[in-house]
């Protein structure tokens, strides 16, 4: 596609014949150099004459609008960055640069992370810093690591923590974290304090409870205790759900004083008038949630502009940051980019990375939007534009998008119908900006129907004459017009090609550090972390560490801690692992499984082949489901496994499933009709400690 511009004279009507001649030359040889205005040539579309342009006024004379507070993304909610840490450092650094490095890729300005609560919160469960009231550990999980990597690249990035659930002990016998507001506030503030003292991370924002009912007393208590503990600058975002808190904020001044910004999820670019009248910042504190293909890029482009145009939302955060979790878990590839194969090193830099760059590389937190009708608004033939400037008013950025309806649908909420057609707009600079003679141009066009994406391309500057210039807009395009000169499309060599999960696979966990998540094992319930075994011959092992049912994010209490691994498409497979159940706080049973067909909240109804053993009762159960409602075989064990380490294995081959303990065959059954494929897994029957070592997965 050619990208040409045409000079606009003072006496424009008399220039039309010359314009047509220039346009013809441009179409033939694409070589016009004497340019003031960007005209886009559209294959298969009628190009509008420049004198059809409608003026868009950019003017600060009547003042400016709201403060821009950032574009960001969310690691967590849950376990969405699980596989990223497993990449080799060189490739991992490349991925992190695309996300966080200023003037390179997405250049994100806010990083929101899950405050792990030992709960299943979408694609897995993340470890709490306090499994119990007597336990405190700030080395668990990978959110500390990713926050430090983000800060290393961009010291100005804002950090935001939010619980999706809580460890069960906080409920004090209930399933509510609000039973004792002081205890729960202390739990959250300890996480903020640990971030600072252990990792030198300042948490800028903290939320209440993701998409769950808020508690007014708790919010006020949290604010009061933050101030008392020296975290006056950590702002509370309320309430990471929808707009239900607005009536309470209107009638309760002390509640309103406790909350810095109102954070709504998936607002559909709108906000209630009552919310706007509050005068508080309004955030889309979770948004997007859409696959990162061209339509996902269109969704993100539309949101980043129209969240302010329609709803006065001044910060927008994508769920999620990066799709680093197994395919066939919910919302696979819903991150701004995807990196789900540490074993191959493959990753995918997707369209939302460059869509983000159209704003983040040219606007800083603290800039202000222009007023509606004077730099912010809807385009006459569909699409939208926003304009922003810095405090000194010596920089200007205008972002324009023309995303069509079917090419910008987000997963949620539903998108009402609308039309977009090609159009010319004349940008008229007034007020503090009349002296601007040129704006730098960055351009993207999402490719559909076989066309290639054209993402974040730098074009010739747009020249202004008498404060005016005309731009021709096509469909599914993004323009950034800016005085900023530092924009850059970063790049690295093409990453390795994708490969299936490797077989045979083995892990003795000796390459880990204590408290780390084990590589590739992805907990769907409970928490599996590296500990040092009391048996020196086993060294480092994986322990399921949750003793009581947590206050769940999912709408049910899953009583079978489980961690999946591998390839969802596996059929015939052999899985073995060593296990030991500690005498103190030990679980009642452990299992090994194959062909596990689901994760996330539906894990409770997962099917597969589950071989469970119960050392205290010398019992075994073979079931076609995790919940043990579909028993294939059960019986009494003739070997003693009540103490020490033992090997447990299950094999599926040739229409049969068999299981062994310490190389002794325990059962053989015919394979049920379903499931036909699935992951390998290990886990426990009920909460309580169990240790695992020497995991091995092979073709049978």
Q: What is the pLDDT of residues 500-553, one digit of tens each?
A: 999 999 999 999 999 999 999 999 999 999 999 999 999 999 999 999 999 987
> How far is Cα of residue 55 from the mean position of the Cα atoms in its chain?
38
Confidence of residue 107 (pLDDT cuts 50, 70, 90): very high
Q: What is the pLDDT of residues 650-699, one digit of tens each?
A: 999 999 999 999 999 999 999 999 999 999 999 999 999 999 999 999 99
Does residue 286 carry a catalytic annotation? yes
E strand segments, 499-606:
505-507, 522-525, 528-532, 540-544, 562-565, 573-580, 590-596
pLDDT given at position 31: 33
* 605 touches 627 (CB < 8 A): yes
Does residue 182 carry a catalytic annotation? no
* 112 touches 73 (CB < 8 A): yes
pLDDT given at position 558: 66
pLDDT given at position 554: 77
Radius of gyration from C-alpha coordinates of the chain: 28
Structure tokens at 573: 């497979």
Of 206, 225, 131, the C-alpha closest to 163 is 206
CA distances from 395 to 173, 367, 392, 438, 547 (A): 57, 9, 8, 12, 56
pLDDT given at position 552: 81
> How far is Cα of residue 666 from the mean position of the Cα atoms in its chain?
44
Question: Is residue 34 scored above 50 in pLDDT?
Answer: no
- Give the mean model confidence (pLDDT) for residues 630-643: 96
Q: pLDDT: is 228 or 175 the higher one? A: 228
Q: pLDDT: is 176 or 50 the higher one? A: 176
Q: What is the pLDDT of residues 273-318, one digit of tens each?
A: 999 999 999 999 999 999 999 999 999 999 999 999 999 999 999 9
pLDDT given at position 556: 58
In the chain, pLDDT over 90 holds for what percent of residues? 90
Q: pLDDT: is 469 or 7 the higher one? A: 469
Question: Is residue 9 scored above 90 in pLDDT?
Answer: no
pLDDT given at position 47: 45
Q: Containing H/E element for 112? A: strand 110-115
pLDDT given at position 53: 87
pLDDT given at position 2: 32
In the chain, pLDDT over 70 holds for what percent of residues? 92
Structure tokens at 461: 């500057």
Question: Is residue 5 scored above 50 in pLDDT?
Answer: no
pLDDT given at position 26: 36
Q: Determine which one of 114, 143, 286, 294 is catalytic.
A: 286
Q: What is the pLDDT of residues 562-582, one digit of tens each?
A: 999 999 999 999 999 999 999
Cα 404 to Cα 62: distance, rounded to the nearest angstrom: 32
Q: pLDDT: is 114 or 602 the higher one? A: 114
Q: pLDDT: is 15 or 461 the higher one? A: 461
| Average per-residue pLDDT for the chain | 92
CA distances from 231 to 18, 178, 189, 261 (A): 65, 21, 9, 17
What is the largest distance, in Å, between two alpha-carbon atoms of the chain? 100
Q: Determine which one of 2, 136, 211, 460 is catalytic.
A: 211
pLDDT given at position 521: 98
Cα 121 to Cα 331: distance, rounded to the nearest angstrom: 13
Question: Is residue 217 scored above 90 in pLDDT?
Answer: yes
Lowest pLDDT segment from 3-17, 103-117, 682-696: 3-17
Q: pLDDT: is 268 or 44 the higher one? A: 268
Q: Which residues pair with 477 in a beta bridge?
A: 445
Q: pLDDT: is 264 or 556 the higher one? A: 264
């Amino acid at each position: 596609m050619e990208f040409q511009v045409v000079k606009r004279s003072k006496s424009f009507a008399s220039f039309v014949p010359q314009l047509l001649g220039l346009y013809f030359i441009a179409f033939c040889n694409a070589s016009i150099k004497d340019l003031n205005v960007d005209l886009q040539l559209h294959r298969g579309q009628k190009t509008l004459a420049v004198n059809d342009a409608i003026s868009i006024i950019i003017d600060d004379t009547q003042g400016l609008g709201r403060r821009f507070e950032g574009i960001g993304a969310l690691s967590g909610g849950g376990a969405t960055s699980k596989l990223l840490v497993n990449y080799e450092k060189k490739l991992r650094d490349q991925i992190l640069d695309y996300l966080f490095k200023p003037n390179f890729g997405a250049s994100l300005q806010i990083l929101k992370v899950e405050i792990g609560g030992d709960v299943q919160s979408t694609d897995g469960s993340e470890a709490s810093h306090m499994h119990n009231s007597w336990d405190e550990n700030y080395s668990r999980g990978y959110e500390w690591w990713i926050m430090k990597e983000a800060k290393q690249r961009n010291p100005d990035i804002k950090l935001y923590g939010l619980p999706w659930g809580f460890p069960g002990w906080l409920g004090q016998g209930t399933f509510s974290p609000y039973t004792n507001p002081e205890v729960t506030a202390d739990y959250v503030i300890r996480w903020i304090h640990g971030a600072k003292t252990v990792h030198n991370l300042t948490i800028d924002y903290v939320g209440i409870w993701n998409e769950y009912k808020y508690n007014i007393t708790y919010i006020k208590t949290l604010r009061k205790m933050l101030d008392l503990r020296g975290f006056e600058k950590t702002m509370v975002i309320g309430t990471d759900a929808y707009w239900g808190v607005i009536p309470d904020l209107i009638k309760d001044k002390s509640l309103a004083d406790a909350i810095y910004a109102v954070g709504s999820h998936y607002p559909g670019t709108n906000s209630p008038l009552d919310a706007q009248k509050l005068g508080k910042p309004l955030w889309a504190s979770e948004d997007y949630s859409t696959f990162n293909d061209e339509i996902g890029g269109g969704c993100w482009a539309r949101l980043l502009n129209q969240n302010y145009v329609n709803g006065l939302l001044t910060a927008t955060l994508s769920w999620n940051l990066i799709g680093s979790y197994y395919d066939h878990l919910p919302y696979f590839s819903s991150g701004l980019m995807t990196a789900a194969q540490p074993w191959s090193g493959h990753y995918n830099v997707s369209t939302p990375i460059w869509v983000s760059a159209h704003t983040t590389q040219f606007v800083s937190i603290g800039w202000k939007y222009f007023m509606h009708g004077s730099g912010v608004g809807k385009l006459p033939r569909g699409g939208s534009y926003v304009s922003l400037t810095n405090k000194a008013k010596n920089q200007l950025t205008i972002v324009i998008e023309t995303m069509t309806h079917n090419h910008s649908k987000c997963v949620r909420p539903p998108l009402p119908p609308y039309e977009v057609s090609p159009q010319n707009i004349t940008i008229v600079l007034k007020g503090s900006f009349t002296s601007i003679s040129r704006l730098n141009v960055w351009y993207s066009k999402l490719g559909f129907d076989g066309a290639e994406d054209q993402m974040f391309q730098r074009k010739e500057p747009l020249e202004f004459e008498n404060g005016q210039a005309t731009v021709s807009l096509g469909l599914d395009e993004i323009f950034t017009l800016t005085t900023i000169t530092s924009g850059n499309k970063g790049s690295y060599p093409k990453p390795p090609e994708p490969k299936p999960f490797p077989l045979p696979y083995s892990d003795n966990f000796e390459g880990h550090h204590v408290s780390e998540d084990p590589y590739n094992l992805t907990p769907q319930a409970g928490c599996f972390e590296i500990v040092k075994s009391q048996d020196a011959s086993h060294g480092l092992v994986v322990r399921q560490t949750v003793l009581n049912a947590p206050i769940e994010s999912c709408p049910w209490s899953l009583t079978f801690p489980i961690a999946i691994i591998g390839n969802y498409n596996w059929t015939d497979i052999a899985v073995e692992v060593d296990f030991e159940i500690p005498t103190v706080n030990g679980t009642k049973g452990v299992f090994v499984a194959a062909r596990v067909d689901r994760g996330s909240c539906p894990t409770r109804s997962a099917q597969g082949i589950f071989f469970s053993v119960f050392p205290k009762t010398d019992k075994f159960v073979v079931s076609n489901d995790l919940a043990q409602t579909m028993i294939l075989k059960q019986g009494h064990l003739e070997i003693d496994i009540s103490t020490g380490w033992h090997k447990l294995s299950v094999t599926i081959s040739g229409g049969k499933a068999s299981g062994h303990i310490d190389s002794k065959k325990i059962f053989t059954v015919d394979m049920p009709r379903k499931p036909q494929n699935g992951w390998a897994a290990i886990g426990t029957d009920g909460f309580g400690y169990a240790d695992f070592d020497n995991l091995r997965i092979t073709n049978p």
